[in-house]
A and B are shown apart, each in its own frame.
Chain A
Amino acid sequence: MNPPHSTEIYADHITKHYQSHNGQVYALENVNFKISAGEIVCIVGPSGCGKSTLLKILAGLIEPTSGQVRFSNGSNDSGIRTALIFQEHGLFPWMTILDNVAFGLENLGVGKIERQQKTQTFLEQLGLGEFSHYYPSELSGGMRQRAVIARAVLVEPNLLLMDEPFSGLDAQSKLVLQEEMLHIWKTFQQTVIYVTHEIEEAILLGDRVLLMTGRPGSIKEEIEVLLDRPRDLRDRDQPFVRETKWHIWKAIEGQVRQSLHVSG
């Protein structure tokens, strides 16, 4: 597989309001950023700061109230392939792993035999080959999430959008999958936007961290991550990571306390 062309993204004054039972919700207010081709950007922020909403807008699943998303060719989305990876439930429980992972190719019009061969080969590279005829419910959460990632990578997206993909996993599986992600990104070199509420994860994975705060959701700060690549899990111990971690925590601590109604 050749590395696909990655894309630049401009988020241009994105605002999203919607009506809920409790009145008007200001999910996003005037969000601006530019992401270069091939860059890995992590968006970190407390629960409910609108980061998932932002990702869905970038993926074209929902429309912003105002503002727009533009890609490097200047168009809205023509020719840009985005693959979105959700927290969980990303696989169809009624399809085998093979059919699930081949679903992206299926919608690109790849013939049945070709897509099954391609998918099987890729699953074998990932070490999931022997599970291709299992149903998702028969696999562990970590294996399911790897299948979701495989499905996304197989369509060779220009832009990979990940919404807390490992938040449902145990701490140890998470470590292994984070390292696998670092490896996959190095191989495929697409532009990546990775949403998480884990500060350390954001620093470890991203070239840049966008710090979001909620009510209304907006980008509060941009942090350049000064760590060399390739990175691995040992980089957690670097002074830069530790300092940045506390810096980010200070910036969002107030909101987290407020949302939990913890005083002081």
Chain B
Amino acid sequence: MAHMESDRRTGSPESSRFWLSNKIQFNISFNGKVIAGLIFAGLLLSWEMAAQFGVISPLYFPPPSFILQKIGSLLTNGTLISNTLITLARMLIGLVIGGSLGLVLGLVMGWSDRFREVIDPFVAAIHPLPKIAILPLIMVIFGIGNLSIMIVVAAGAFFPMLINTMSGVVQIHPIHFDVAKNYQASSMKVFQRVILPGSAPSILAGLRLALNTTLLLTVAVEMVSSISGLGGMIWMAWTTMRIEEIYSSLVVITLFGILINVFLMLLTSWLLPWQEKRSS
């Protein structure tokens, strides 16, 4: 009983105390992230062992240490870095162009009911089309190359930004506009103090979708239309059966995805401090 009481006094909800004997005690922190890390390391280790001892075919599942070596050599000869930068550039340029057009149009459509009524049917018609499907047409018009890739990527960023921004503005509680009007706020002030911050959570959700879509689209488009970039690299590796290179590209793309999410988390806590406080 005495032990349990001391436990209650000192133990945080995340840690628990195990009594191995009367004298020795361990504090094990039940931190979810630590456990996830341990599981991840365990999986890698089992993969390594299984591939090394021939339980699984090292041809299809090369051991992680081989993949790491391959990444090292691809890094030193510059292939990985240049292809990563190419993919990053295509993705970001497409995102900035398509995303900012979507943002601006979304704000205007959210603000003006009349404008929204006119444009909405067009958005509804074009939006469901998988953007990868327009690539052949774009290549016919603009030729094979970076321009076509970035146009498709931009189209992929445009719609999630547009739709989320628009709905973000539309769902702002009408009372906020009444308050602004009552205090005779100028249109500029309404935009700055009501529309932008009021729709910001939804805009950020749109940005998240746009980032994921553009990453997917850039890699997919590179696979079918380019020999450069991470997508092109994967495709080349597949056609020449360089399995370790496929894995190397996948690792980099995974890191991309993780970085995107970290970036979004930082951006959210910077732009929406009022939402963080509400959830905590």
Contacts and interface: CB of A to CB of B under 8 A. Distances in A.
Contact of B182 (A61, A135, A137, A138): A61
- Which of A86, A94, A104, A107 is most buried by chain B, counting CB atoms within 10 A of its CB? A94
B178 A86 contact: yes
Given A84-B178, A107-B184, A135 B193 contact: no
B278 interface: yes
A59 to B, nearest CB: 6
For the side of the interface on A, what is the size category?
20 to 34
Contacts of B181: 61
Contacts of B273: 135
A148 to B, nearest CB: 9
B184 A92 contact: no
B182 A89 contact: no
Contacts of B180: 107
Contacts of A90: 175, 179
A94 B276 CA distance: 11
Interface in B237-280: 272-274, 277-278
Contact of A92 (B182, B186, B193, B272): B193
A45 to B, nearest CB: 21
A93 B277 CA distance: 11
A82 interface: yes
A93 B201 CA distance: 12
Given A107-B189, A137-B274, A86 B179 contact: yes
A92 B178 contact: no
B189 to A, nearest CB: 6
A98 to B, nearest CB: 13
Interface of B (DSSP majority class) = helix
Given A86-B175, A106-B189, A135-B274, A92 B197 contact: yes
B198 interface: yes
B200 interface: yes
B279 to A, nearest CB: 9
Interface string A99-140: 000011011000000000000000000000000000101100
B3 interface: no
Contacts of A138: 277-278
B185 interface: yes
A83 B178 CA distance: 11
A61 B278 contact: no
B267 to A, nearest CB: 15
B42 to A, nearest CB: 41
B277 A104 contact: no
Contacts of B193: 92, 95, 103, 106
Interface in B170-209: 173, 175-176, 178-186, 189, 193-194, 197-198, 200
B182 to A, nearest CB: 5
Nearest to A137: B278
A86 B189 CA distance: 20
Nearest to A59: B182
Top 9 nearest A-B pairs (CB, nearest first) are A94-B197, A137-B278, A135-B274, A84-B182, A107-B183, A89-B175, A104-B183, A107-B185, A94-B274
Interface of B: 173, 175-176, 178-186, 189, 193-194, 197-198, 200, 272-274, 277-278
Interface of A: 56, 59-61, 82-84, 86, 89-90, 92-95, 103-104, 106-107, 135, 137-138, 155
6 contacts: A61-B178, A84-B178, A86-B178, A106-B189, A106-B193, A155-B183
